[in-house]
Chain A
Amino acid sequence: MSTFRHVFVTVLFILLSATGAQSDALGIDVGTPVGVNELAKFYAIPPDGTGLPPGKGTAAEGKELFAQRCAHCHGEHLEGLKEVGGPKLIGGRGTLTSAAPVKTVESYWPYATTLFDYVWRTMPFDQPGSLTPDEVYSLSAYILSAGHVIDEKEVLDAQSLRKVVMPNANGFFSALGPELDMYRLAPGEPKK
């Protein structure tokens, strides 16, 4: 009886100390716990819009901002400037099956949340990460309305942006895993 109690107390002690120190099975306890405040500076916005910041913007506001901050690389009419490396942002619908597909936000990108995330994260290239959420909503609205994806009057915010359906939303499929296409006796159509 006393042996049982001794074992019980020892096991309880190990469990408590393991929980308290966060050490793993090998006894390793490394790293500093962090709370939500320290993590608040990070974001990555999936298609359901989780993490979209407060704020809003319209195409009209975005158009003005685009001329100041973006047009020197992407062209005045979002047509892209090859010589400075800024890609074309709109147009190209219906070209993806052609010999010269034109991949733009309008023709290719499957999610509007990706546009917001990428612009907020990296743009403009000469001052990366310098845009406010309002500015990113405005620029997103301008690019999407110029590409006839949303109405030019639409106000983009955390609620409306996640509801935008991109023209090529169904154009992608996950190819994780083995390359089955290479195992067809008569290669032709890829898997559906």
Chain B
Amino acid sequence: MASVTRQKEDDSAAKPSKDDCPCREGMKPRLDYNRRGFLLSAMAASTAGAVTATGAEAEKMKAPPGATLYDVPEDPTKEMARGVHEDGGYGTRSQFETETRIKAERPLDGTSWTYTPLASTIGNLTPSGLHFERHHGGIPTIDPSRHSLYVHGLVDQAKKFSVADIKSLPSITRRFFIECSGNTLAEWAKPTGKNVQVTHGLLSTSEWTGVPFATLARQVGLKENAAWVLAEGADAAVMTRSIPIDKLMTDALIAYGQNGESLRPEQGYPLRLILPGFEGNTQIKWLRRLQVSDRPFMTHEETATYTDLLKDGRAKQFTLAMDPKSVITFPSGEMILPTPGYYLIRGFAWTGRGRVNAVDISLDGGKSWAPARLDNDPEPMSTVRFSYPWFWDGKPAILQSRCIDDAGNVQPSRKELIAVRGLNSVYHYNAIQSWAVASDGSVSNVHV
């Protein structure tokens, strides 16, 4: 989007149209990081008698990602503001909204990840542009008109489906969370992440639209011994995972929609697998192939990685469902409470084994618990917002939340979790998170 807008601005700078007049120039996007745009806005500023922006000020005026910078009028009721469609027909967010995904520092960006800013998203859905990412071979650019999904193996008739074929089938739209099973993995041994974006930001929730696998299965016919399905992506990692067919026939979607539009490229455009409540890696992006089999394939991501090493040296394989988990997003790490007084504790809870049934809050490091308020109706395999009014008396406190799902599973304490898993599992860390509020109001990540 940004580059399109920039290009348009360049064109108007090169060829001022007859419509340009002083009354309009101040309302144009001020893209000062672009040289020609900078000259234009500097001209506009001097025309209006203002001080010409310096390089440093121009840098400050740079629009946040996903936004376009406009001049801010002293009194918006005294000027006719910009007209429709200056954004080219696809809207941008406010220039005052600055939340972004942050990336993990890794040797290769193509095999790295980004974290969702959980403390600053609003409501239950994650904006598509803030959905966390984890890639193993970069983000491919795929022309949907050249993309097919093959379904073959233990079927009566192998078939390929174009994206148009998939979209012609009856679809389902539902809200599901996706969590990377590596979310919170640095917290096993000691508190590591400084803030909730880093400790829990490999979690996002979207409204997904797609076709149930069962619908495709009727188009190809399943053989009697069908038990597993290999899902394969069209990225450079050619990501493959084996999925029990029971899961695919229960609630899996071949998704093409996310939050009312097509999937974002980094979320698998044009097709991805949605396996509600399963670990993120299994929900194959850029889906190109489903091979029905009578056994799992033992791919790299279900043997060498995404397996959970236990104390006795053996490893759990196919730990696919995400266990109940929750986290307080306010107050959380690196925040400061300025004074004692009233605060609304807020957070997310989720479970891959049903619906969230209840969330409890502790203010004393888990000694006592009280129920939180659920701010939205719990849905299967989806996140729930919770809140809890708290009067902070200025004394040190340790804030915790725990999720209880409708199957009766209870989010464990860290001690309970490591008693059964040890410290080397890496994946599937779902222990209760503790945030310590110090008497000076500073909040930090601790273990109790």
Contacts and interface: CB of A to CB of B under 8 A. Distances in A.
A34 B238 contact: no
Contact of B236 (A97, A105, A122): A122
B158 A33 contact: yes
Interface in B80-126: 106-108, 111
B307 A46 contact: no
Contacts of A44: 230, 232, 240, 291, 297, 299
B312 A97 contact: yes
Given A39-B152, A47-B298, A85 B106 contact: yes
Interface string A50-77: 0000000000000000000000000000
Interface string A10-29: 00000000000010111011
B416 interface: yes
Contacts of B291: 42, 44
A118 interface: yes
Contacts of A125: 108, 111, 137, 236
A57 B420 CA distance: 43
B309 A96 contact: yes
Interface stretch (B313-321, B333-341, B438-446): B313-321
Chain A interface, DSSP helix/strand/loop, else mixed: loop
Contacts of A117: 297, 299-300
A110 B303 contact: yes
Contacts of A84: 107-108
Contact of A118 (B169, B216, B232, B299): B299
Contact of A182 (B289, B303, B321, B420): B420
A32 B161 CA distance: 6
Nearest to A122: B237
B421 interface: yes
B218 interface: yes
A24 B300 contact: no
A184 interface: yes
B112 to A, nearest CB: 9
Contacts of A33: 157-159
B75 interface: no
A111 interface: yes
A188 to B, nearest CB: 7
A173 B420 CA distance: 15
A98 B101 CA distance: 35
Interface string A149-192: 00000000000000000000001111110110110100111100
B308 interface: yes
B317 A175 contact: yes
A42 B150 contact: yes
A43 to B, nearest CB: 10
Interface string A89-103: 000000011010101
Interface residues of B, number: 67
Residue among B162, B291, B315, B353 having the largest count of chain A Cβ atoms under 10 Å: B315
Interface in B284-312: 289, 291, 293, 295-300, 303-304, 307-312
Given A44-B297, A114-B300, A173-B316, A31 B107 contact: no
Contact of B320 (A34, A82, A176): A176
Nearest to A29: B219
Given A108-B304, A125-B108, A113 B298 contact: yes
A173 B309 CA distance: 10
Nearest to A119: B300
A108 B304 CA distance: 7
Interface string A108-130: 11110110011001100100110
Interface in B386-423: 409, 412, 416, 419-421, 423
Nearest to B110: A125
Nearest to B216: A31
Given A103-B309, A125-B108, A31 B161 contact: yes
Interface in B230-250: 230, 232, 236-238, 240, 244
B420 A187 contact: yes
**Interface size grouping (class) on chain A:** 35 or more
Contacts of A24: 218-219
B323 interface: yes
A40 to B, nearest CB: 11
Nearest to B230: A44
Contacts of B54: none
A26 B170 CA distance: 10
B220 interface: yes
A1 interface: no
A30 B423 CA distance: 49
A131 interface: no
B419 to A, nearest CB: 4
B219 A118 contact: no
A22 B318 contact: no
Nearest to B296: A46
A57 B421 CA distance: 40
Nearest to A170: B314
B246 to A, nearest CB: 9
B221 to A, nearest CB: 8
Given A39-B152, A187-B416, A188-B419, A175 B308 contact: yes
B3 interface: no
Q: Which 8 A-B pairs have the closest CB atoms?
A: A85-B107, A31-B159, A24-B218, A175-B316, A96-B313, A118-B300, A97-B313, A187-B419
Interface of A: 22, 24-26, 28-35, 38-39, 42, 44-47, 82-85, 96-97, 99, 101, 103, 105, 108-111, 113-114, 117-118, 121-122, 125, 128-129, 171-176, 178-179, 181-182, 184, 187-190
Given A32-B162, A187-B416, 17 more contacts: A26-B218, A28-B219, A29-B219, A34-B159, A35-B158, A39-B152, A44-B240, A84-B107, A85-B107, A101-B313, A121-B240, A122-B236, A125-B236, A128-B236, A128-B238, A174-B316, A176-B318
